[in-house]
Structure formats: C-alpha cells, structure tokens
Structure 1
C-alpha cells in the first residue's frame, strides 16, 4: 500500500503529532508499505516551497512558506498538493489533525475531491470547542463522504462521535511507543524523598506552574523533605515557573530543560512516580513511556491517561488538584505501595506498542478504502 501522511507539523519541530507521524511512517515501512509525508513545516535546513527532504529514509514534501516563527501554514499549498498526490498514485491518505490544523484540513478537501481514500486521526481534546465544530459541520460532511475518523483515545473520540452522523463510526487509533525500548525497569527506591518526575512542553495548557503548587501542597501533607520534583522540557512558561520556585524557596524543584529520549528514559528509571497534571491531555505519550519504564502515573480523569492507568493498581486517576496532592502524599509515606505499583507496571507491558498500533493504522486504511467503495 502506498500511503501519504499529511500533517501541518513534522520534524524538525518537536511535539506529539510530529514525533508520532514520524514514527508511524517508519513502522509502516517496516511492514512493507511505501510512505511519503506532506507537511507545511520547513526542513532542518530551511527547505520549503515543495522541496523534498529525506528523514530516516522517508521522503518529506516541504510545502511550507517563509513565515514569522516558521509557522506551519500555507494556504497556497492545495494545487501543488493535488498535483503530487495524483502523480504519486497513492492508495490512501492519512491526515493528522489537531484543534487548529489548516494544512491538514486543506489536504482533506483535496483528497476528497480526488476520491482518494482518507483516514483522519485527531490528536486533540475538542472539549468545549465541540459546539463550534458542530456548527461548522465540516467534520460531519467529511465523515459522510467517507473519511474514516479516529482519535488517539476514547476520551478524545467521544466528542467526535457527537459531530458525525449516526451511521459514521469514530475509531480509537492510539499513539504508539517502542515498548521494548522503554521497558527497562526502574531501580528500587533508595531511602530518601519520593522522586517525582514529569516531561512536558512548558505551556499554560500543560499546567506546569499549577503542578508545582500541587506538589507543594503534597509536601505540606507528607512533611518537609519528603518529596522532590523534576520537570523536563522547555516552553514559554519556563520563566514563570522559575520565578515561582525562587519566590517560594522551593529548592526541591528542578528544571533541567529538554533532554534526549535516551536521557529521558534514564531519568524515568531513576525516579519513583510520574505526574500528568494536564486536564486536556488527549493521550499522554510521555506518561505512557514512564509507565512502561515502571513508574506509577498520577493523572487527571477525563484525559487520555486513563487508557493505560488503572486507578489504584498502577497509579491514580484523580479528578482535582487536591486529589492529586493527596495521592502524592500517600505515596510519599508508603514506599511499599510505590514498589507494588512499579512491580505491576514492569510485569504488565502496555498494549500501545508500535507493532500493534501500525497494524491498527492499516486496518483504518482498509476501512477508509471500503468506505469510498461503498
């Protein structure tokens, strides 16, 4: 099968959609499929205006414009995209979309006009924006015209199910990870504070500053010196978080910045518990990776974390910041419970391995092809 992966964002930008699309491309090739990527993101050397770069053996069509901040936007792309899709004789188009994805949505209009079978995966939580999408009705139109809709988790899929017609299905196509790469196991907890860790883009919607307050509340419950927190990542909220840490003299908070995947795995293995404070987390790739290492995960209800965390078994799924603080404090004073949860995670590998997820994607492609034929 020849697959066109279409995404506003792609490497060298770093983020959930970018990394997942890249990894999916490699896994599809490993299964014997031919893959090309189409994106509005410039290349590492500034390639744009349709230049093709090769990333890990995958041709990437850089349909990007020169814009401030290298924004992945190109309203002029559709004619050239159409020409390349026709010339490439693709069997399937797989669109990756978020809440606002102008390139991906333009690409969907192009593929529908071509009659090219199209699968669309939503990597976002529509939440309160669902009525806006419902009023626009374009999601319903696309589904009625044969676009095979999916989302990365059941909680992300649920709002979409209310936007499509009753006869249209919305599948769950989860994000994938290389489980064998992350299943290294975490070391037994040494004496001392509970070592908390999180990895995120330091942006408001990820709630890094709120997380610091939550952990401070947990420490006040468990006792001084019982907890440390490491926040990995970069973003616009970094300065605010650093200022908050200084002003409140929170010496147990560390912000090492962004690290490689290899160092991330090592830091997880040297930690005790992973925290996922975002309310609108459609999946939680970093949390899944930490859970695969062995860490108990504490995340929010109504987020994608519930796809791989069983409350009270291998972590906690909480409904508020105060509940998160209480859960952290309980583990800080109960090392045996931490060890029990860690052992469960090590013994039970998650289902979201790429070997399974790539095959699920192929089944979505087969569904899209059957929808077009019908």
Structure 2
C-alpha cells in the first residue's frame, strides 16, 4: 500500500512528531510510506526522498491556515506523481483539513488521528472549530489516542471513532542512582510546570529536575528554589528517567500522556493530575498516583518517597507498559486502512522500502 502521512514529523519535536516518526518506521516494514510536513526543514538523510514539506511562516494562526490550503495543493501534486492509496492526517484541525480538501478533489480515503490539543484547544477557536468539525464529519476513519479524546470527538460531530493509543519506542538505560523528582514536557501554561516548582518548595531536601524548553523557562528559573535544575530539552529521556525516583505530570489537559508510559517502561512510578488521558494510563495506587489538587499532590509524593512502595509500583508499571508497543499500534492502524479501502484490499506491499 502507498500511504501519505500528513503532520508534524522529525526534525520537528513534540508528541505528534514522535508519534508519526514511530508509526512511519513501523508501517514502512510492509508499505511504501511518504510524509508531508511543515517547512522549512532538512529531512533526515535516510528518507530525504520520501519526506516533503510546505513552507509556511512560523506565526500562530497563519501557519496552520496556510498549511491547510498549501498542503492540499501539495497533496494533489504528489498524488499525480506517487498515486497514493490512502491519506493519514495527524492532528484534527488545519492539518486534517488539508486532507479533507484533497479527499474532495482526488476521491482518496482519509484517516485522521486526534492527539489532544486539537480537540481540547483548536476546537475552541472560531476558525479552528470549523476545521475540526469538517474534518471529523468528512474523514472516512477517525482515530483517537485515548477514550477521553474519543468522547470529545463524538461530541464534536464524529460518527464513529476507533481508540488506538500511542506506542512507545523501546527505552534502555544504564543502571543509575535514583536522585531526582522529575518533570518532562514543554514549558507552557497547560503543562503547568509552576505547580512542579511549587512542589519543590515543600521538599527542600529532594532534587528536582525540569526537562524541556518553552516560553515559561526564564520565569520558572527566576522563581525556582535552589533544589531545582533546568537541563533544557534532552534527547536521552531514557537516561533522565533512569535517574528519577518518580515522574510528576501536573498537566491541566492531556490527550494521552506518552511520558507516563515511557516512565513506567523503565520502572519509574508517576504522579499525574486526574485529567484527560492521564486517568486512563495511571491505575491509582498501582503504577502511580492520581491527584486533583496541590495538597493531594504533596501527599502522594510523600508516599512515593518510601522506596519500597516506589519499587513495587515501578515493577507493576513495567508490566502495564508492555501493551503499548508500536508493532501492535501499527497493526491496529492498518485495520483502519483496510476498513476505509474495503476489506478486500490487500494491505501488504511487496515493493515497500526499508526504513
């Protein structure tokens, strides 16, 4: 099968780019997969002939709207050259709307995946709401990475939604001393790193680590107590987690929460706010704790500082993380492709190229 994946993709960073990167790698074992993403970028050498881009200005609002239009035109042009079987857009909104326009023009089946902020944020913007509703109504297949997002998609007009969670890449780390209480994520308001900084004040004898970058970084550094370190964005998350006693996820909204599963895969328990997809990933008292307010967060962190409890939760977390493998995720995505193409369509491709 020849597939066009549309959305954020490396060298872009972030949750959607991480998702599409791993999905494409897995799908390429059996199919011929191409990518259309936001420019300007320099594609990685091993796939430079299969990654295309639309150059748009990095201005919020303008970037997405232009991508919807220019992305559509690019898809039409690429289809004439490559003859796709299916389009798979990641992020319901402007990205998927490029696919909606292409579907209308080319009569190609369209699959769209909801990742979180698309349905939680984009859908609340005047023009964004139009893009989201049109995409949900016109796509042939809708995927949500959590049951929480499935409910959001249905409330916004989707008729049928398949839940397929994110997968995790295998993480391996050397044995290390557990030193830190850790936050990993973009330093933006909805990830709520300020709550993490406030938490550090309650445990002055513990070391706290803020891994990530974003517009709040300088402000956080100004207000943080001395026991907080800011290493910035890091690619070696496995090594960071290997040195972590626990992971804190204070996000105010979260469609899935991939970092929860990544931490669990390395035996690190997680304390996460009881919102969105986080509630589906943390089995309270098993692989971590859920919290609703700050006092409860402090209480749960104090409990986890009991090393025996943390070790037990870490072992349970490893077992739970086993079901989030990319091989399984890709197989379920292929089932959606079969559905939108017709059950008789052969999803294999003997001419598929390597990764």
Please give the TM-score of this superposition, normalised by the length of structure 2.
Answer: 0.85
Structure 1 partner of 2:351: none
Unmatched tracts of structure 1, length 5 or more: 45-52
1:140 CA displacement: 5.1
How far off is 1:363 after superposition? 1.2
SS in 2 for 1:340: helix
Aligned to 2:198: 213
**Residues 295-337 of structure 1: per-residue CA shift (max 9 Å, x gap):** 00111112222333211011012222321121112222x2221
Count matched residues: 339
Q: Deviations over 1:236-275 (max 9, x none)?
A: 1110000001xxxx22111111112xx3211211211011
Q: Following the alignment from structure 2 to structure 1, what is the Cα–Cα distance between the partners of residues 26 and 33? A: 10
Q: Indicate yes or no: 2:5 matched with 1:5.
A: yes
Rounded to whole Å, the distance in 2 between the matches of 1:146 and 1:81 is: 16
Whether the 8 Å contact between 1:313 and 1:341 is mirrored in structure 2 is yes
In structure 2, what is the equivalent of residue 89 of structure 1? 83
Displacement after TM superposition at 1:367 (Å):
2.3
- Give the C-alpha shift of residue 288 in structure 1: 1.6
**Which residue of the partner structure matches residue 17 of structure 2?**
18
Preserved contact between residue 292 and residue 350 of structure 1 (Cα < 8 Å): yes
Match of 1:307 in 2: 280
Contact 2:96–2:112 (8 Å) recurs in 1: no
Within 2, Cα distance between the matches of 1:85 and 1:170?
27
Alignment partners' CA distance in 2, 1:229 and 1:355: 34
Question: Structure 1 residues 13, 138: closer, same or farther in 2, change over 3 A?
Answer: closer
Measured after TM superposition, the shift of residue 131 of structure 1 is 6.7
- 1:98-137 correspondence runs (5 A): 98=92, 101-125=93-117, 126-127=119-120
Cα distance change, pair 300–42 in 1 and its aligned pair in 2 (3 A): same
Would the aligned equivalents of 1:120 and 1:148 in 2 still touch at CA under 8 Å? yes
Is the 1:279–1:302 Cα contact (8 Å) retained in structure 2?
yes
Deviation of 1:231 (Å): 0.8
3-state secondary structure, aligned to 2:286: coil
1:264-279 alignment runs, 5 A limit: 264-279=237-252
Which segments of 5 or more consecutive residues in structure 2 lack a partner in the other structure? 346-355
1:251 and 1:184 map into 2 onto residues whose CA distance is: 27
SS in 2 for 1:12: coil
Matched residue, 1:233: 212
